[in-house]
Chain A
């Protein structure tokens, strides 16, 4: 340790050296120089993280005649909300109906049902995995983990053929089944991790007092694990909400499209609907991002609980 770390030594030098040393000092705490560098780095990182997102907003605000421009301004010249109006309410002049709300409804109905069902199934079975020792328990848990190794598209082919045979292609039910594949195992795993952190003493006391297992589960475990249930719900909701590849295989009719398929129809016709694509994206992304940023703290604790603590 050659550099002076205490103020006594610094005071001994002349003012310029003193200021210089203070500015670059090492050891306890960050020197002003280091602080500035850190803030600059973080600001650059923030710009990299946010600018592409802002570009989508920019494009959505561009008037149709200047969609194709090489400008990098965030608020475009002659900003207009025309794209939003057309996405939301359709174009009555050209008799084009807006499918935006239909897509949203398709997405919400599919994803919400998947999440509710998988959270209910998982809440119950995760309790068994967490509290009972039964033959097949370890195997079951490892198996649930193994399902994460299954490539995304791998079960899609047999599921697709199955659904086709059951005449469930092009129905929301087919998509619900396909989404449940990834959702259920992960949800069980997350919830089991959370139940493990709840002390067993509470239940044992209740059991000694004569409560049944069912009462224990509904009156103690479920209320205590509401945050985890919310996380699990959010997890599987987020997982299905912006899913594109599975939906593309299962749904082929325009009126069944979920929103990712829907806005892709805008994105395909590049020059024509870039603005509409951006406007629709902003409308969808704002509530989702708000929810995500608001709940990210719990999402993260759920992740670490599920993967680290097991």
Chain B
């Protein structure tokens, strides 16, 4: 009886294992004959897993140490005066080590240079100790040379754990109201510090430098206010990427953003209004209409790039078909004055265009692509907003004799505003910053006539290697966007509700 129960309990697990084995052998049988043509192999997979595992282990280890430090600061209280002195001393030492490590990290990534003096030695001390410790262990034949730094680090971790142990032993627990909150946000805070705030500071420093390919990025770069001024001057009067001028690109960016968002919102609104009614096939339409959003942008953009080909792309095929049709009609109606001439006129003006060579059409081509990609998102958001409006408002309005237009103006618009406002703000910011479509379709060409600010910036950094200049460029764009957002949120009061 009991064995049966145990068996039942573990049956799913056994079946899973069996299924996985079956899958493995099936894959083996299916892929083995073709394995010669596939470059991925088990060794690559395992090597990658090993790399990532080590990386995660290191991050988690560092976070655990930090969490321990703060846990003891918030939740432990020394038992008596002597313990207090010892604890505070140890915590002081820990803080010092943290400062040293951070300082060393600054120098490692070239944010600051301490030089060879006492300051440099102070910040490089932890590394020197770990190296010395590693060398000592190698000399004492405890570990081999390959594992020296690892062994050194393990010893350091061990010492840290002993320090934590001592503090723990010397103290009693104490309640803390805020401690938990800070402990919980600590990992994310450290992550953001490292990933966003630090690079941001780095960017500001870079903006006041002459870093470029010639100076080997930051290695031989010089810093100073005059370099910052120089970068700023180049930005507004000189060339932003190769030949383009700042204000040309700036107005194009505004145009790009306004046209895109206008089409996204109006197209999305139109589709949402059409779909927002009891109707057959609604789910079917909705599924098909989100296709442009569902397809990975990279694939969509590259596919569209091919469709804008002058001869074999879809758009020019359609246009030339249209042209032939118009021409044949104009021949057929040539005897009718007016109509025949009108079709003749149309046939002469509508036809294949050179999407790649003509700056105007190139810009149109990226607009078409981005509008096509962006409408589904807006329509889905707006539809969600529409569905949250109670039907009673419309019934009441109908009884009062309001026209459809009035209902839309005075019921729909105000009630979907809470949904629409953030969507529009985010839409503006995202469109302003979105250049993967541009980069993949026209690469800013011809002659940088389809570049927007961010794509010029990307080019300045990674095609022309003007690092210092790019940093200043990025700061200007950021300030501009921030001002827009703050202004807009102040206007709509959106920020207040968000932080409550």
Binding site for B on A (CB under 8 A): 1, 27, 30, 35, 38-39, 41-42, 45-46, 48-53, 55-56, 59, 68-70, 72, 88-92, 96-102, 105-106, 109, 113, 117, 121-122, 124-125, 127-129, 131-132, 134-135, 137-138, 140-142, 144-162, 164-166, 171-173, 176-177, 180-181, 184-185, 188, 213, 241-245, 248-249, 255, 260, 263-264, 267, 270, 274, 277-278, 281, 284-285, 288-289, 292-293, 296, 300-301, 303-304, 307-308, 310
Contacts and interface: CB of A to CB of B under 8 A. Distances in A.
A137 B274 CA distance: 42
B181 A132 contact: yes
A161 B56 contact: no
B429 A148 contact: yes
Given A244-B439, A267-B306, A277-B306, 6 more contacts: A46-B289, A100-B38, A149-B482, A160-B461, A270-B306, A300-B381
B454 A152 contact: yes
Given A69-B312, A89-B34, A132-B180, A142 B199 contact: no
Contacts of B458: 153, 156, 245
Interface in B25-77: 34, 36-40, 44-45, 48-49, 51-52, 55-56, 59
Contacts of B52: 109, 113, 172-173, 176
B181 A278 contact: no
A165 B302 contact: no
Interface in B291-332: 291-300, 302-307, 309, 311-312, 314, 317-318, 320
A89 B37 contact: yes
B114 to A, nearest CB: 15
A212 B102 CA distance: 34
B40 A102 contact: yes
A16 to B, nearest CB: 27
B291 A153 contact: no
Q: Which of B36, B55, B185, B307 has the most CB of A within 10 A?
A: B185
A162 B187 CA distance: 21
B474 interface: yes
B55 A173 contact: yes
A175 B305 CA distance: 26
B356 to A, nearest CB: 11
A306 B498 CA distance: 9
Interface of A is mostly: helix
A204 to B, nearest CB: 15
B181 A134 contact: yes
A303 B430 CA distance: 14
Nearest to A48: B372
B440 to A, nearest CB: 7
Contacts of A300: 380-381, 384
B422 A307 contact: yes
B187 A45 contact: no
Contacts of A121: 187-188, 191
A92 B110 CA distance: 48
B178 A49 contact: no
A127 to B, nearest CB: 6
Nearest to A145: B498
A158 B199 contact: yes
B52 to A, nearest CB: 6
Contact of A308 (B198, B292, B419): B419
B309 to A, nearest CB: 8
B287 interface: yes
Interface in B257-316: 271, 274-275, 277, 279, 281, 285, 287-300, 302-307, 309, 311-312, 314
Nearest to B461: A157
